[in-house]
Structure 1
């Protein structure tokens, strides 16, 4: 009988010594009877230092934190907990009760598995994901910068579609007319169209049809021979059309072209020749025509204020550029672009306060990109501090945003007032700021910079308020 008990004891010791898990066996009162020798590696104490001791005391000393055995003694069923040891290790502990034939709990056997390496791998994986997000963001910024180098800011789907269409038709000879409100950047796309064509090394001649007085329009467009009229240059002068020979003629705001000039332009397009004012000899001319307008040419053609035959000649490939208010995704990129550009131009280091940026993003920009560019230059030049604040913004932007800001503030205040405790009210405010940062940023690193927090704190708070999915969608 004794030899049998000895054999069982030998087997038990072999199991305790050979197991990769840490095994602790207690009696029904929670006193440690046996423990694995690897106790030091996991819990930071030698196994013989816990033998005979109560798990309640070991829990108070944070050796078992929390104690799985205590939980099994209380609940009298198999339990599982995550423990955090003094040695900063993460341990998964599983405890099982042992009952005698009378149903009395006489033993608790616990198995503890060190998850520290797995947790580190998980943290490294999350860190890697964050870095990948940062790298993707940086790559995207580089790609966007490449587009900026072409003077075209691309972010929204709407403007990317315009850009793709411009690239597809750039190397053709087809006439293109850009449609859209004033300030959307029609001239920028026109130049990009020219630069992407086989005529890129030849002249790009831009004519603002609304800026030339009607009396001078013919001589400016077609040129004149010497002595054609009083004040004319002695040697004569080539017109804009001649200067565009071999290249591109861009007629900006062609809806302002006088009717008399429309007929002459149509003749030039049909015959590919131009005759100077006061001259008799036509000059052979080769140019590609690009036009733009903020007017409805179709309606003008119906009403008779624009020639129908010229309208159809121009309307080969119409490309509509949407206003800035319909491509919100471009606004932030444009603000950053012009802020950087004017900082360099005027050798300053201005940056935007978060609330000021909010107002700029929410503004409807009736003057489109041109208005935004002028506003950013004004802010860089007139703000007294390096940080551009709400008080620096033009009054027009303030007026538009005043009502929406009041409504938003009132809504947040009501939410906070309705909270049952101070803690809940603060949590609502904190969550609001996190949601605000998610809309503005692509990664948690950017969020941390915006909110003035550490990146790890931002990640923890996103988990706290279940906002992770929103961040993934945003990035």
Structure 2
């Protein structure tokens, strides 16, 4: 047998190559004549190669087989073209038409890659779903990596560790808990932790901020009301938070803001575990564990007559005093690390910080406590494009915080108060000059005349 007769059919070979490609392929010449299509093209469009091979793309368009052709524009411009095409069966596909040039540089063929829009949309959705899974996985990793996390509280200090140990004991009882501490220390976080560690953890947890409810609505919000109890009331009546929290926990935040009349009614509800809705005479029983919180000194409030003593004693069963952040500085770096990881994950960033930032954070007094740090770090990550934050990215007030007073030699018995204050003033002024670089800017920051800054800088030999 002639060895040349064993060679494969070139045309069949080309068809086989086209059919193994995952994209639909449509090949036409410079005049728009259809030369070949592959099997995937037939599947995507519903058009068979026998129906279209040898026909002009413009004729096929005019016959309604599809609405868009790219061959003429590719031949005219010699450039790639992209468009969306709708076939006669209503299928939508994306066309990417590419020119193939001959030796003279003219367009000889147009090869069009055809892809299904529906498939691309599904792939896009799959990618979005995978990204969501990745984000959730990263959040879980953060929670697992944070060794200083216990429940929902991030800490490294002895003070909070002792507080958590006490909380664990109290949570297992049904005792009323009073959380004390400054604004932003995390009283709401500790209240949820108490509920989660209690026997009621599968029951509802409700929080009511006593400072945000108008005085004329507090009673109806807590105790509920009957139909027609007052103008504008729901025609079916409404249960109050005490009923809604039945078998669960009710957290009364900022309880020191309650009016005296409501304090009296709340006391009876605490003692008797029963309420009467506004506009009703029917007594309703409930079973609720109470947690209250305030940033006020309730003992002083009792002395001044702004808080009922009997309610205070009823609340003061298990008291948890949450120290401010400035009194547990071991927690600052732990919280800093946690919030940076939290918001880097949320906003898909990778922002880090220098040791100077750590030092500034530890020196700062954080008057707004953990809440201030949470919001501040979120703001840093959202508003800064830098990958590494340094001290210059922090606001001026963080460089001149009064905590520097603690770093002076306050135990030095050889210095008077005036000398200590002078030392602090000199240090503060030097920091300001180093940061702003000019007397005018320092004067503007401290809101004093330039002559005042000049005089003090000269006094402390800070001018070159």
- Quote the offset at 1:280 in angstroms: 1.6
The change in CA–CA distance for 1:168 and 1:147 in structure 2 (over 3 A counts) is farther
8 Å CA contact 1:268–1:274 kept in 2: the answer is yes
Which residue in 2 is equivalent to 1:59?
Answer: none
Name the SS for the 2:334 alignment partner: helix
Which structure carries more helix by proportion?
1
Distance 1:146 1:218, change over 3 A: farther
Distance 1:406 1:290 in 2: 39
* 1:172 corresponds to 2:173: yes
Name the SS for the 2:400 alignment partner. Answer: helix
Q: Number of residue pairs matched?
A: 268
Per the alignment, residue 335 of structure 2 pairs with 334
Which residue pairs with 2:353 in the alignment? Answer: 352
Distance (whole Å) between structure 1 residues aligned to residue 211 and residue 229 of structure 2: 24
* Compared CA separation, residues 399 and 279, structure 1 to 2 (3 A): same
* Deviation digits for residues 237-256 of structure 1 (CA, Å, limit 9, x no counterpart): 11111111000111111111
Partner of 1:374: 375
Deviation by residue 1:434-464 (Cα, 9 ceiling, x = unmatched): xxxxxxxxxxxxxxxxxxxxxxxxxxxxxxx
The separation in 1 between residues aligned to 2:231 and 2:303, in whole angstroms, is: 39
Q: Does the 8 Å CA contact 1:177/1:292 hold for their aligned counterparts? A: yes
Residue 454 of structure 2 aligns with which residue?
A: none
Instruction: Give the Cα separation in 2 of the matches to 1:266 and 1:222.
Output: 13
| Structure-2 separation of matches of 1:402 and 1:254 | 31
- Determine if contact 1:359/1:401 at 8 Å carries over to the other structure: no
Q: When the two structures are superposed, what TM-score results if normalisation uses the length of structure 1?
A: 0.54
Runs of 5+ unmatched residues, structure 2: 1-141, 410-464
Number of the residue aligned with 2:392: 391
Q: Which runs of 4+ in 1 moved over 4 A?
A: 141-144, 401-408
Q: Take 2:205 and 2:211, find their aligned partners in 1: how far apart are those partners?
A: 18
Give SS of 2:168's match. Answer: helix
Distance 1:292 1:402, change over 3 A: closer
1:237 corresponds in structure 2 to: 238
Q: 2:364–2:403: 8 Å Cα contact kept in structure 1? A: no
Instruction: Tell me what 1:269 maps to.
Output: 270
**CA contact 2:365–2:403 (8 Å) conserved in 1:** no
| TM alignment of 1:283-362, pairs within 5 A | 283-362=284-363
SS in 2 for 1:219: helix
Distance 1:271-1:405 versus aligned 2 partners, 3 A rule: closer
Q: CA separation of 1:144/1:255 partners in 2, compared to 1, >3 Å: closer, same or farther?
A: farther
CA distance in 2, matches of 1:312, 1:246: 23
Shift of residue 144, structure 1, vs aligned partner: 7.6
> Runs of 5+ in structure 1 lacking a partner?
1-140, 409-475
Separation in 2, partners of 1:150, 1:186: 14
CA distance in 2, matches of 1:391, 1:268: 54
Secondary structure of the 1:226 match is coil
Aligned-residue CA RMSD in angstroms? Answer: 2.3
* Superposed CA offset, 1:53-92 (max 9, x none): xxxxxxxxxxxxxxxxxxxxxxxxxxxxxxxxxxxxxxxx
